[in-house]
Structure 1
């Protein structure tokens, strides 16, 4: 039973490291693409579009005008 609780106590560290690793690998690839001029514009437009769409969806879901 002690091993069970040890594993449960390790889970928050594990999930945090998985989330941090996901963001580090994702942002690393985006920053590598920023070094190329033609890719930079496409990525900026894509990020702005995604943020706008998510904002509009959340406003509609919450009823915020």
Structure 2
């Protein structure tokens, strides 16, 4: 799961509730809102890079 720490719809309390659930890995991106964007477009591009890397890592076969 990927969420931003500046998300008005998915709050810090929500993150705490799911953090210890089995089979759930949560990645909290600093500065990202609900759309995984930031106010500054360069920060949004950096967030997109992070999300792309997380997706690529997730799709790699397990060894």
- TM-score > 0.5, shorter chain as reference: no
TM-score class normalised by the smaller sequence: 0.3 to 0.5
Alignment TM-score, normalising by the size of structure 2: 0.43
Which structure shows the higher helix fraction?
1
CA radius of gyration, larger in? 1
Alignment TM-score, normalising by the size of structure 1: 0.42
Q: Which structure's relative contact order is higher, taking Cα pairs within 8 Å and 6+ residues apart?
A: 2
